[in-house]
Amino acid sequence: MCVRKSSRATTAEILCSMRRTASCSPPREFPELAAYKGQTLITTDGRTLLGADDKAGIAEIMTAMAYLAAHPEIPRGKVRVGFLPDEEIGRGPHRFDVAAFDAQFAYTMDGGPLGELEYESFNAAQAVVTIQGKSVHPGTAKGKMVNSSAIGMAFHGRLPAGEVPEFTEGYEGFYHLSSFEGTVDKTRLKYIIRDFDRQSFENRKSAMETIADEFRQTYGEDSIKLELTDQYYNMREKIEPVMEIVELARQALLDAGVVPIIKPIRGGTDGSQLSYMGLPTPNIFAGGENFHGRYEFVSAESMEKAAEVIIRIVTLAQEQA
């Protein structure tokens, strides 16, 4: 749904204009709405997410390419465009042929609000903890039952309580318990581990190994299984040697009248993996906010600016060639 409000509209009116089935988004919870007064906001009816992450990026790229196709007089070098599925589950680049793509550098249009430009991401891993218990009738369980769910709670309790997403920001890392499923007999905990610093990232994984080893000593060698899988690494390591591509994007933002907001991504993009595959790939704003939830929205004006930035990157790259 696309809603245009006059400059007199309150921030509450903007998202309250959703259907009556929607939950209103109070300005006190989303103060960033004030920056969009008078703009065109694209939302859902409030019952599900919008998917601007990353439908907005796709629309911006296609708009920019359509403009370039319609204006052959605009100087440009070879421009490559790629669309990857499965970014949200970290598998987007797994089958991407960087050599065939034949580009020196790239940009993902996967950022948030207007102006974001990012070349630092988390180091990321997944941890799966599987606990084997023993189910016995509670009436005769003394000395026999091993409650795997209780062990799972104890395992989680050994991790630092303050190092979780809801208590961290900036460059702070965390452990995130994404699911806990269990019975007396068997329990499985899934975590994501995130940190910007590579050594701190490795330390977090080692800490989980240590806890698992200690629990094995108490409950038996086969009682705890810990599977750690690295997902992606901080792309800063691969982009810093070619910072001119960040400067190119920064200048394109300025030329489009957008103030660059350079900050680390508290997450990852396909660019995190692509950078380690030999294609350095910073990230640029797509314009959306409140991703992955029913209060998600994107400004049409921000999307227009994103398309303008793409076009300017193409022309600047040719000018500097």
Same fold? 73-121+235-291+299-320, 123-232: no
Range 123-232 classified under CATH 3.40.190.10: no
Range 73-121+235-291+299-320 classified under CATH 3.40.630.10: yes
Q: What are phi and psi of 103, to 5 degrees?
A: -130, 150
Residue with tokens 């810093």: 240
Assigned token pair, 112: 């948030």
Q: Could you tell me if 1 and 43 are in contact, meaning their C-beta atoms sit under 8 angstroms apart?
A: yes
Q: How far apart are CA 298 and CA 80, in angstroms?
A: 26
DSSP characters over 61-95: HHHHHHHHHH-TTS----------S-GGGT-TTTT
Q: Crossing angle, helix 300-320 and helix 244-255, to 10 degrees?
A: 130
Q: Tens digit of pLDDT per residue, the chain (321 long)?
A: 333 444 444 444 444 444 334 444 556 788 888 899 899 999 888 888 888 888 999 999 999 999 999 999 999 999 999 998 877 777 778 889 999 999 999 999 999 999 999 999 999 999 999 999 999 999 999 999 999 999 999 999 999 999 999 999 999 999 999 999 999 999 999 999 999 999 999 999 999 999 999 999 999 999 999 999 999 999 999 999 999 999 999 999 999 999 999 999 998 899 999 999 999 999 999 999 988 888 899 999 999 999 999 999 999 999 998
The number of helices, as runs of H, and strands, as runs of E, in the chain is 9, 12
State pTM to two decimals. Answer: 0.83
> Domain residues of the chain, as ranges?
2-35, 73-121+235-291+299-320, 123-232
Nearest alpha-carbon partner for 271 in 93, 126, 140: 93
Q: Does 54 sit behind a cis peptide bond, omega within 30 degrees of 0 on the bond before it?
A: yes
Nearest alpha-carbon partner for 252 in 199, 191, 314: 314
